[in-house]
Amino acid sequence: MSKKSRVTDEEALSYHLEPTPGKLEINASTPMATQRDLSLAYSPGVAVPVQAIADNPATAYDYTTKGNMVAVISNGTAILGMGNLGALASKPVMEGKSVLFKRFADVNSIDLELDTEDPDEFINAVRLMGPSFGGINLEDIKAPECFIIEQRLREEMDIPVFHDDQHGTAVICAAGLLNALHLTGKKIEDCKIVLNGAGAAGIACVELIKAMGAKHDNCIACDTKGVIYQGRTEGMNQWKSAHAAKTTDRTLEEAMTGADVFLGVSAKGAVTQDMVKSMADNPVIFAMANPDPEITPEDAHEVRPDAIVATGRSDYPNQVNNVLCFPYLFRGALDIHARTINDAMKIACAEALAKLAREDVPDEVAVAYGQKLTFGRDYIIPTPFDPRLIYTIPPAVAQAGMDTAVSRKPIVDFDAYTVTLRSRMDPTASMLEGLHNRAKTKNARMIFAEGDDIRVLRAAVAYQRAGLGQALVVGREDDVRDKLMAAGLEDAYRELSIVNARNTEHLDSYRSFLYSRLQRKGYDAQDVHRLASRDRHVFSALMLAHGHGDGLITGATRKSAHVLELLNYALDVSPEDGAVGVTALLRNGRIVLIADTLVHEWPDEHTLADIAERGAATARSLGLEPRVAFVSFSTFGYPVSERAEKMHVATKVLDGRGVDFEYDGEMTVDVAMNLDVMANYPFCRLTGPANVLVVPARHSSSISVKLMQEMGGATVIGPILSGVDHPVQICSTTSTSNDILNMAVMAACNVG
**Strand partners of residue 699:** none
Which residues, in sequence order, are CB contacts of 230 under 8 Å at separation 6+?
244, 245, 246
94 is in an annotated binding site: no
Query: Which amino acid is it at 221?
Result: A
Q: CA–CA separation, 328 vs 393, rounded Å?
A: 6
Active site residue 97: yes
What phi-psi label fits residue 352: left (phi over 0), alpha (psi between -120 and 50 degrees) or beta?
alpha
Alpha-carbon distances of 671 from 609, 650, 666, rounded to whole Å: 20, 18, 10
φ, ψ dihedrals at 653, nearest 5°:
-60, -45
Which candidate in 23, 91, 97, 102 is catalytic?
97
322 is in an annotated binding site: no
Burial class (CB in 10 A: 0-12, 13-18, 19+), 461: buried
Q: CA–CA separation, 89 vs 104, rounded Å?
A: 25
What phi-psi label fits residue 738: left (phi over 0), alpha (psi between -120 and 50 degrees) or beta?
alpha
79 is in an annotated binding site: yes
351 is in an annotated binding site: no
φ, ψ dihedrals at 452, nearest 5°:
-95, 5
Query: How many Cβ atoms sit within 10 Å of the Cβ of residue 291?
Result: 10
Strand order in the sheet with 551-554: 497-499, 469-474, 444-448, 551-554, 728-730
Alpha-carbon distances of 151 from 100, 163, 326, 334, rounded to whole Å: 25, 10, 18, 20
84 is in an annotated binding site: yes
332 is in an annotated binding site: no
- For the chain, what is the total number of helices (H) and then of strands (E)? 31, 21
Q: Which helix (H) or strand (E) holds 471?
A: strand 469-474
654 is in an annotated binding site: no
Q: Are strands 469-474 and 69-74 parallel, antiparallel or unpaired?
A: unpaired
Which residues, in sequence order, are CB contacts of 586 under 8 Å at separation 6+?
428, 714, 715, 716, 717
80 is in an annotated binding site: yes
Alpha-carbon distances of 463 from 439, 456, 492, 541, 554, rounded to whole Å: 10, 10, 12, 19, 14
Q: Are strands 226-227 and 219-223 parallel, antiparallel or unpaired?
A: antiparallel
86 is in an annotated binding site: yes
Strand order in the sheet with 627-631: 662-667, 627-631, 692-694, 590-595, 580-587, 715-722
Q: CA–CA separation, 548 vs 501, rounded Å?
A: 13
* 3-state SS, residue 679: coil
83 is in an annotated binding site: yes
Gyration radius of the chain's alpha carbons: 29
Alpha-carbon distances of 602 from 152, 651, 657, 665, rounded to whole Å: 69, 17, 22, 18
φ, ψ dihedrals at 135, nearest 5°:
-170, 160
264 is in an annotated binding site: no
168 is in an annotated binding site: no
Q: Residue positions in the annotated binding site for NADP(+)? A: 79-86
Mind telling me the catalytic residues? 97
Q: Residue positions in the annotated binding site? A: 79-86, 139-140, 165, 290
Q: Residue positions in the annotated binding site for a divalent metal cation? A: 139-140, 165, 290
